[in-house]
Structure 1
Amino acid sequence: MKSARVLLALPGLAALAWGVVLFAEYALPLRPDVFGTVGWIIGGPILNDAVIAPLTALLGIVLSRVLRHPWRTPVVAGTVITGVLAILAFPLFWRPYGTAPMPGLHDTNPAPALALTLAAVWLAVLLTALRHRLIPRPTRVVPPITRDAPPITRDASPITRDTPPGTQDAHPSTPTDPPGTPADLPGTPADRPGP
Structure 2
Amino acid sequence: MKTARVLLALPGLAALAWGVVLFAEYALPLRPDVYGTVGWIVGGPILNDAVVAPLTAVLGLVLARLLPPRWKAPVITGTVITAVLTMVAFPLLWRPYGTPPMPGLHDGNPALGLALTLAAVWLAVVLTALTRRVVPPITRDAPPITRDAPPVTQDAPASTPSDPPGTPADRPGS
Shared fold by TM > 0.5? yes
Give 2:88's aligned amino acid. L
Identity %: 72
Structure-2 separation of matches of 1:107 and 1:58 = 36
Q: TM-score, normalised by structure 2?
A: 0.78
Runs of 4+ in 1 over 6 A off after TM superposition: 160-167
Structure-2 separation of matches of 1:69 and 1:52 = 25
Give 1:17's aligned amino acid. A
User: Is 1:2 matched with 2:2?
Assistant: yes
Structure 2 residue aligned with 1:11? 11
Structure 2 residue aligned with 1:94? 94
Question: Over residues 130-177 of structure 1, what are the superposed CA-to-partner deviations in whole Å (9 max), with x where a residue is unaligned?
Answer: 0047xxxxxx98454xxxxxxxxxxxxxx688998898xxxx9xx899
Within 5 Å, give how 1:73-84 maps onto structure 2.
Answer: 73-84=73-84
Structure-2 separation of matches of 1:123 and 1:7 = 42
Contact 1:89 1:110 in 2 (8 A): yes
Q: Tell me the C-alpha RMSD between the 2 structures.
A: 2.5
Structure 2 residue aligned with 1:26? 26
Q: CA 1:16–1:141 in 2, change beyond 3 Å: closer, same or farther?
A: closer
Q: TM-score, normalised by structure 1?
A: 0.70
Deviation at 1:27, TM superposition (A): 0.5
Aligned length, in residue pairs: 151
Give 2:36's aligned amino acid. G
- SS of alignment partner, residue 103 of structure 2: coil
Q: RCO higher in 1 or 2 (8 Å CA, sep ≥ 6)?
A: 2
Give 1:103's aligned amino acid. P
Structure-2 separation of matches of 1:57 and 1:96 = 30
Give 1:76's aligned amino acid. I
Structure 2 residue aligned with 1:68? 68
- SS of alignment partner, residue 30 of structure 1: coil
Q: Which runs of 5+ in 2 are unaligned?
A: 134-144, 165-174
Bigger radius of gyration, 1 or 2?
1
Structure-2 separation of matches of 1:21 and 1:55 = 35
Deviation at 1:94, TM superposition (A): 1.2
- SS of alignment partner, residue 98 of structure 1: coil
Contact 1:85 1:114 in 2 (8 A): yes
